[in-house]
Amino acid sequence: MWKIPTLSLQTQQAFVVDELREYVSDASEMICDGATVAFPTETVYGLGADARNSDAVAQIFAAKGRPADNPLIVHIASQEQLGSFVMGVNEWEQQLIDQFWPGPLTLILPVKADALSPLVTAGLTTVGVRIPEHPVALALLAECNVPVAAPSANRSGKPSPTQAKHVWEDLHGRINGIVDGGAANVGVESTVVEVVDDMLYILRPGGITSEQLQAALPQAKIRFSKQSDKDAPKSPGVKYAHYAPNGQLQLVTGATSEEVVAFINKSVVQARKHGEKTAVLAYSEMLPFYKADRCFDIGARNNPEQGAQQLYDVLRQCDAQGIDRIWAEYPPEGGLHEALRNRLFKAAAAHLIDLS
Ligand code: TXA
Ligand code: MG
């Protein structure tokens, strides 16, 4: 068990709690008292507050600098808690719950009027809900026994936090506590889905893949919901810049990996002429071929799980090392690669170069 740096509710001073039970109790008490506490989940760290308490939820938006029209995901420890704030669950939704909870799947469900702070839902008639699969999160949520609103615990627009120190970097002094449960196992956020008639819309790709969803619901038509898709449900968060490092990130894809390497190395030479510090995010097998100031290994190309675990930390390392220009190999389609493509595309503000 790591030492757990926490900020006390009363003093805002750092202190250390080294017993898991003690710190979970502390954090749960703080949340019930209307404080904001960051805690680990299997995807990324969340910044939690009592979802029924508008003052507490307002502190989440203030600490993150999050636009008020971007609703928050609500976290619970057990399905029994759903009834207190959700109108109902249909057959497909129940099948998804049975199959994927606890886990990295967020369902958009109809919310009961006045059951949650209107800030959580940003005025929508639906709410995003999940049961996370992390022992610390589950213990905390069970002890609070209230629905806990928890967006990723980063400053809005920055890479999400996969370690407690990332939360500290972004939110230290702005929130009331952090519980440190080590590095997040999945590393990218939950998949956000909405069932509409015979369609299952993926509003945000994440830890559960479309292939897994299709296997669970063979009769469903699955569609990735795009901002340009006028009939599809929207995730308000999708329109905002996200996950961005300070340096300029460019994604590169091509018919062959040699072509991609040649392009990136040429760009690195150019950038260095202008005195810029360069970095490349590359799959393990391609790493030796790059000539940037820093080359970050994001795992084997056929192992997107590794890439997901590394991505946000690597983007933060680029910032810590004052990198001006970053190039990344654009991941292939399918499976967990989709979540990586989505996060990288946003982090790069859509700067994608296709050489093929
Ligand atoms: O893995 C995760 O989901 C993490 C951990 C902490 O659980 N949480 C997370 O929350 O990523 P956040 O707030 O950073 O992202 C929530 C996303 C946003 O894109 C938001 O727009 C969307 O879910 N969302 C929330 N409620 C919604 C709703 N009622 N309808 C459509 N989209 C919604
Ligand atoms: Mg987020």
Between CA 92 and CA 83 the distance in angstroms is: 17
Question: CA-CA distance, 192 to 130, in Å (whole number)?
Answer: 9
In angstroms, what is the span from residue 254 Cα to ligand 2's centroid? 30
CA distance 40 to 162: 8
Tens of pLDDT, residue by residue over 139-195, are: 999 999 999 999 999 999 999 999 999 999 999 999 999 998 889 999 999 999 999
C-alpha dist (Å) from residue 167 to 13, 123, 180 = 16, 27, 10
Check residue 32 and give its pLDDT: 96
Ion ligand 2 contact residues with beta carbon within 5 A = 152
Q: Whose CA is nearest to atom 13 of ligand 1?
A: 151
CB atoms within 10 A of CB 203: 22
Instruction: Please report, in tens digits, the pLDDT of each residue of the chain (356 residues total).
Output: 233 444 433 333 333 334 467 888 989 999 999 999 999 999 999 999 999 999 999 999 999 999 999 999 999 999 999 999 999 999 999 999 999 999 999 999 999 999 999 999 999 999 999 999 998 999 999 999 999 999 999 999 999 999 999 999 999 999 999 998 889 999 999 999 999 999 999 999 999 999 999 999 999 999 998 767 777 788 887 777 788 899 999 999 999 999 999 999 999 999 999 999 999 999 999 999 999 999 999 999 999 999 999 999 999 999 999 999 999 999 999 999 999 999 999 999 999 999 99
Which pLDDT score is estimated for 20? Answer: 64
For the segment 84-124, what is each residue's pLDDT rounded down to a tens digit?
Answer: 999 999 999 999 999 999 999 999 999 999 999 999 999 99
Q: Which of 138, 152, 201 to mutate to test the pocket of ligand 1 (most atoms within 8 A of CB)?
A: 152
* 192, 201, 226: residue to mutate for ligand 1 pocket, most atoms within 8 A of CB: 192
Rounded CA gap, 12 and 231, in Å?
47
**Rounded to whole angstroms, how far apart are CA atoms 178 and 222?**
37
Stated as kind and residue range, the H or E segment containing 257 is helix 257-273
State the pLDDT at residue 290.
98
E strands, the chain, where?
Answer: 4-7, 14-17, 37-39, 46-50, 73-75, 105-110, 126-130, 148-149, 177-178, 191-196, 199-204, 221-224, 248-253, 278-282, 294-297, 325-329, 352-354
Q: What is the dihedral sign for C-alpha 170, 176, 180, 184? A: negative
Task: Take residue 146 and report the two structure tokens written for it.
Answer: 């209230």
Cβ atoms of 234 and 225 closer than 8 Å: yes
Q: Is 203 in the pocket of ligand 1 (CB under 6 A)?
A: yes
Q: Is 189 in the pocket of ligand 1 (CB under 6 A)?
A: yes
Side chain identity at residue 203, one-letter code: L
Do residues 193 and 202 touch, judged by C-beta distance below 8 A?
Answer: yes
The secondary structure of 287-352 as a DSSP string is: GGG--SSEEEE---TT-HHHHHHHHHHHHHHHHHTT-SEEEEEPPPSSTTHHHHHHHHHHHTTT-E
Residue 256 CB contacts under 8 Å (≥ 6 apart), including other chains: none
> What secondary structure letter does DSSP report for 42?
S
Exposure class string for 317-342: b at 16+ Cβ within 10 A, else e: bbbeeebbbbbbbbbeeebbbbbbbb
DSSP letters along 152-179, please? BSS-TTSPPPSSHHHHHHHHTTTSSEE-
